[in-house]
Structure 1
Amino acid sequence: MTLDRAVFVFAGLVVLAGVALAHFVSPWWMLLSAFAGANMIQAAFTGFCPAALVFKKLGIRPGQAFR
């Protein structure tokens, strides 16, 4: 698995977790999905992704987007 795929999987899991928690626990959990979406937009414009830094330190090989 490359760094790009790891970041996309993580972002998807965060969004789905936020939606599930909002449905079953409290609507305030939608803020988690909103935060993940805002972070993805920010990463698209700046190229900086905190999750990519963490995954890189864990030894996941780089892909095309986050070098």
Structure 2
Amino acid sequence: MEGDKYEDGKLHPHHCGSFILISLALAHFISPRWLWFTVFVGANLLQSGITKWCLMESILSRIGVEK
């Protein structure tokens, strides 16, 4: 698909950034335990940078978002 954000590699960082900001807001307003979600997203980013495999990309491809 021409101009697809997923193909350009820009969709993944947008999702990660959104997840981090949302979890920080939830930690501030709801419960500090939401910081564990932030830790998970950060660990996933570190892991995907090292292995070149990302769980989010696998999930998106399974729900029908094409590369």
TM-score band (shorter)? Answer: 0.7 to 0.9
* 2:46 alignment partner AA: I
Structure 2: stretches of 5+ with no match in the other structure: none
> Would you say 1:8 and 2:7 are equivalent positions?
no
For normalisation by structure 2, the TM-score amounts to: 0.79
Cα distance between partner residues in 2 of 1:37 and 1:15: 8
Q: State how many pairs are aligned.
A: 61
Other-structure match for 1:59: 65
* 2:6 alignment partner AA: T
Other-structure match for 1:26: 31
- Percent of pairs with identical residues: 28
Larger CA deviation: 1-10 vs 37-46: 1-10
Question: Structure 1 residue runs of 4+, over 3 Å off?
Answer: none
Match of 1:42 among 25, 42, 47: 47
- Structure in which a larger fraction of residues adopt helix: 1
Question: 1:47-67 CA deviation, whole Å, 9 max, x = no partner?
Answer: 110111222342333xxxxxx
Cα distance between partner residues in 1 of 2:45 and 2:59: 15
Structure 1: stretches of 5+ with no match in the other structure: 62-67
8 Å CA contact 1:14–1:36 kept in 2: the answer is yes
